[in-house]
Amino acid sequence: MAKTHISTSINGEPVEFLADPGSSLLDALRNTLGLTGTKEGCGTGDCGACSVTVDGRLVCSCLVLAVEAEGAEIATIEGMAQGEALHPLQRKFLEMAALQCGICTPGVLISARALLEKNPNPTETEVRFGLAGNLCRCTGYDKIVRAVMEAAAEMRETV
């Protein structure tokens, strides 16, 4: 079967690529486009390591077909920092050691950003529910939650 030509937008840049109709957006990002910041954990939508946004909506890229990217706007972890300037969430994760092995971190950051865009002042409980779809095998959840709360507070002050 021939591959399908896809025109899409990734982190604001127009991108074209060829996709197998049965392959996932995650495979296209990592293997076709070399955007390996998005991680593969379970491949079944349980762990959230492959979180990206498609047209502003938080999704697991392992559960999206690559061909569905046609005409869509995709945002990945590679677009989170502005040049050398880290996003406040990224900076707080580093300052507060909110990661151990780091495999879950890109997905957690994408989810946390989606959460704060909808709810700039979340309670700790809301952060925990909001990130329930992101599993951390190093069990670093407390530091992750604290870093998200701190980043949210800083982002509220700078608006």
Determine the Cα–Cα distance for residues 130 and 62; give it in Å rounded to an integer: 19
Cα 75 to Cα 56, 79, 153: the distances in Å are 8, 7, 23
Contact between 31 and other proteins per CB under 8 A: no
User: Which residue in 9, 17, 20, 78 binds other proteins (CB under 8 A)?
Assistant: 20
The strand order across the sheet containing 57-60 reads: 13-19, 4-10, 73-75, 51-54, 57-60
Cβ distance to other proteins smaller for residue 97 or 118: 118
Nearest-5° angle of CA 71, CA 73, CA 77?
Answer: 145
Cβ distance to other proteins smaller for residue 22 or 102: 22
* Joined tokens for residue 7: 């025109």
Beta strands at 13-19 and 4-10: parallel, antiparallel or unpaired: antiparallel
User: Which residue in 37, 41, 48, 88 binds other proteins (CB under 8 A)?
Assistant: 48
User: Which residue in 41, 88, 106, 130 binds other proteins (CB under 8 A)?
Assistant: 130
* Joined tokens for residue 151: 């980043």
Contact between 67 and other proteins per CB under 8 A: yes
User: Applying CB under 8 A, which part among 65-73, 83-91, 94-102, 140-148 lies near other proteins?
Assistant: 65-73
Residues of the shown chain interacting with other proteins in the complex, contacts defined by CB under 8 A? 1, 4, 20-22, 24, 43-46, 48, 51, 54, 57-60, 62-65, 67-68, 70, 111, 114-115, 129-130, 132-134
